[in-house]
Amino acid sequence: LFARPFVFIKGCVRIADLPPADRMEIAFAGRSNVGKSSLINALTGTTGLARTSNTPGRTQELNIFESQSDALRIVDMPGYGYARAPEDKVKQWTRLIHQYLTGRPNLRRVYVLIDGRHGPNANDATVMNELDKAAVSYQIVVTKADKPNKSELEAALAKTRAAVAKRPAAHPEIILTSSEEKVGLEQLRAEIRQLMEH
């Protein structure tokens, strides 16, 4: 599945722009700058596929990528909770994210990314609430594991586990990743392969 490169299909600013719901989709969601686009590049092994930046608010559309060998689509999402962008933009992204996450029939799983330095915040909780309410399958991915020191990472992980334990439904195990140091990628790939088989 990940042996061949992924290709960029299009960027969508509204739900109506999405391609037909004709194949399995997985989406990467999380606050601005958490490392969504970087993880997609690392996971697919396609450098520069998704655009990344030091500045939060880089990804502003639902960016669609497809495998050239299999019927898998990956969706890179704008970050949520980014307060420094113009208010109407933030509103537009929030609405788009909400509509996509709760209304896409072929969305097989959402990866909710949590920063390994900080753990979850209120916006993450809101998104988990929405996904739980809509009964959409999701898994927590802790990112940037190379950045914090050991005790900071442990603290962020403990907070993340506690937040997930509070959820009404059971969720798959938390995955620890670093796009920079290629940690957790093989585990993530294996799980995505499994999703494609079921």
Binding of Mg ion by 144 (CB under 5 A): no
Q: Which is nearer to ligand GTP, 46 or 196 (CB)?
A: 46
Q: Which of 24, 36, 138, 185 binds ligand GTP (CB under 6 A)?
A: 36
Cβ–Cβ under 8 Å, residues 59 and 74: no
Site for ligand GTP contains 143 (CB under 6 A): yes
Residue 180 contacts ligand GTP per CB under 6 A: yes
Stretch that binds ligand GTP, among 5-13, 28-36, 126-134, 168-176 (CB under 6 A): 28-36
DSSP label at residue 107: E
Tokens of 133: 């309410």
Number of alpha helices (DSSP H) and beta strands (DSSP E) in the chain: 5, 7
Task: By CB under 6 A, name the one of 5, 19, 45, 56 that touches ligand GTP.
Answer: 56
The partner in contact with residue 19, picked from Mg ion, ligand GTP, none with C-beta cut-offs of 5 to 8 angstroms by kind, is none
To ligand GTP, the closest distance from the beta carbon of 59 in angstroms equals: 3
Please spell the DSSP secondary structure of 45-80, one letter per residue.
Answer: T-TTSS---SSTT---SEEEEEESSSSEEEEE---B
Q: Establish if 156 lies at the interface with ligand GTP (CB under 6 A).
A: no
Q: Which stretch binds Mg ion (CB under 5 A): 20-28, 29-37, 96-104, 126-134?
A: 29-37
- Minimum distance from residue 82 beta carbon to Mg ion (Å): 11
Tokens 């309410």 correspond to 133
Coil vs helix vs strand at 29: strand
Q: Give the count of residues interacting with ligand GTP (CB under 6 A).
A: 24
| Residue 59 binds Mg ion (CB under 5 A) | yes
CA distances, 192 to each of 33, 56, 179, 187, 189 (Å): 23, 27, 17, 9, 5
Residue 179 binds ligand GTP, judged by CB under 6 A: yes
58 makes contact with Mg ion (CB under 5 A): yes
Tell me, what amino acid is at 153?
L
Q: Buried b / exposed e across 75-101, counting CB within 10 Å, b at 16+?
A: bbbbbbbbeebeeeebebbbebbeebb
Contact footprint for ligand GTP (CB under 6 A): 30, 32-38, 52-54, 56-59, 78-79, 143-144, 146-147, 178-180
Contact footprint for Mg ion (CB under 5 A): 36-37, 58-59
